[in-house]
Structure 1
Amino acid sequence: MAQLYFKYGTMNSGKSFEIIKVAHNYEEQGKPVMIFSPAVDTRAGAEQIGSRVGMTRKSIPVDEHTNLYEFVKEYRPQFEPKRIYCILVDEAQFLKKHHVLELTRIVDELGIPVMAFGLKNDFANQLFEGSYNLLIYADKIEEIKTICWYCDRKATMVIRFRDGVPVNVGEQIQIGGNEDYKPVCRRCYHDAFGPQQA
């Protein structure tokens, strides 16, 4: 039975790498997949996802007006079999509520499993819109773990840096890499901002 999975982790937890690995495993068995990624994130290039280990994959860009359900329903691949075995979504925290609801329809009405990968909380420890709705609607929720940048504890938060200085105010969406964000544990986050800011 198809299900909607939300696999979340902080920065550097290997979410994009996991998507590339899952896609490879399906395709090695001759089972086509579709990969979606937010149009706003072009770090790996337009219409691509990229892992920090250097691997990339083509993806279908999603913007505010994309209807994921209609896109998948109307998709007709050039070659047989005319079936998509799995939908993979990178940086799912950037999805809008309507996108998440469209993913539930892909699962429930089209019978295609969906795996959405993304951050849960932002640099100010607020839920992203996509993550909030995936936590509500996902059938299965799984944490992808990584370690704190500064110690050996599990990273559960992220610190944003501006000119090398930690900041916890600003626009929620700011695309960046290791120079802009670091995965941290709660204690190291408190050390940076104080417990009242976490």
Structure 2
Amino acid sequence: MLLRRADVLRGALELLDAEGLDGLTMRKLGAALNVQAGGLYRHFANKEALLDAMADQLLEGVGAPLPPGPWQEQVRTLGQRLRAALLARRDGARVVAGTYVTGGTTLGVGAAVVDVLCTAGLPADEAGWITFALFYYVLGHTIEEQAQARLPVHDDWPSRLGRSDDTVSPDFATALRAVVAADPGERFRYGLDVFLDGLALRVHGRPAPPQE
């Protein structure tokens, strides 16, 4: 059977789930697809090109048409969709964060955010900066979520932080315990709300605080 580009991409995503990003190699992918690794280069010039295509595929559906509503709710929906898409695959956030994709799916997600912000009254250049800031927040939070999920049970994040209680201030110890105890989704929503609260000040024309 002739190996198609879609077959390679699907196999790469399945290997990502099985081995993680560090275990994804062209040699292993070729073995999983029962072809020589060189045969993969007919579809992707190198591993970077394959990762770009994987990143673009991971964002499928994120930029789908939004339900009508306030701009804040639409941006919130896009942020939540992006997080869900990244969490759907093992190391999904690392794959997307390590690429600079100009595929149609990725550009569609960016365009969706920019369109919402421009409709809210922001100029296009500022909307672009804000869109990337939103992506950075979602990617950073999701990378940490997926990294914490890989920690061993006997040496997980709560255990590590618990051993630090005697070396930090009481307030900081309380803050750390609150972070650890919170559901990751709840922490994500809180951070997204803070982001949107600050963005609302920009949209409604209030001056930003002076930089120190």
Q: TM-score range by the shorter chain?
A: under 0.3
Greater strand content: 1
Greater helix content: 2
Task: Name the structure, 1 or 2, with higher relative contact order (CA <8 Å, separation 6+).
Answer: 1
